[in-house]
Chain A
């Protein structure tokens, strides 16, 4: 089975712009979670989608949003980018929600200048 794929792998944006990141889960997985990884804050949970519904949301401002499509693919969007949004954004998929193993993609490295 193919693993979790994320596109693009690298992205450079300017402050104030918006960005959309994409995640394709492992075939058959219905849950997709997003995490932000920075040197200062470590790995932080952004949100989880299961069967096209947001199940849980982390403590991030409303500029961070996401959605999931009927084929389980997910996108996250960050509007009005700030320098502090520079991070590695990781997507993880699992068969079901709640306690299941999560399998991570390689991440999208976002740099905001």
Chain B
């Protein structure tokens, strides 16, 4: 069965510091992996998607994620945090044979200190 674990429900960084949000998954088949961001009172916005074309995936707003099969991880990083990055981030996994079903992690709330 698919599952997603996000380590750390809250992460706090200083503006300009590295952002690292951790995600581990389990899947019985090669997965599709996603990172989404949610700002207060809004829906989810797609940051990036892994589809096996490349292990390092670049997304919007300077975010990127690296797929590591041996570690079953898909951590999200950004070299320099900006105040506008403060939001909740969700990692999700999908198995192609499950149609459009996304399994989400519990989310990580990112705070950015000035």
Contact = CB atoms under 8 A, between A and B. Distances in A.
A3 to B, nearest CB: 9
A106 B98 CA distance: 24
A28 interface: no
Interface stretch (B11-19, B37-45, B61-69, B73-81): B37-45
B114 interface: no
A56 B101 contact: yes
Given A98-B96, A99-B51, A45 B44 contact: no
A103 B60 CA distance: 14
A106 B43 contact: yes
A48 B103 CA distance: 13
Contacts of B49: 101
Contacts of A31: 99-100
Output the residue of B51, B99, B102 with the most chain A CB within 10 A.
B99
Contact of B100 (A44, A98, A105, A107): A98
Size category of the binding interface on chain A:
20 to 34
B101 A33 contact: yes
B101 to A, nearest CB: 5
Contact of A56 (B46, B99, B107): B99
Interface string A34-55: 0100000011110010100001
A99 B101 CA distance: 8
26 contacts: A33-B101, A33-B102, A35-B104, A42-B104, A43-B90, A43-B92, A43-B104, A43-B107, A45-B103, A48-B99, A48-B100, A56-B99, A58-B101, A92-B100, A92-B102, A97-B99, A98-B96, A98-B97, A98-B99, A99-B32, A99-B96, A100-B100, A102-B34, A103-B46, A107-B42, A107-B43
Interface of B: 32, 34, 36, 42-46, 49, 51, 90, 92, 94, 96-107
Instruction: Report, nearest first, the 6 A-B pairs whose CB atoms are least far apart.
Output: A104-B43, A43-B104, A55-B99, A99-B32, A48-B100, A104-B44
Given A33-B101, A99-B94, A101-B46, 10 more contacts: A43-B92, A43-B102, A45-B103, A48-B99, A55-B99, A92-B44, A99-B51, A101-B34, A104-B45, A106-B42
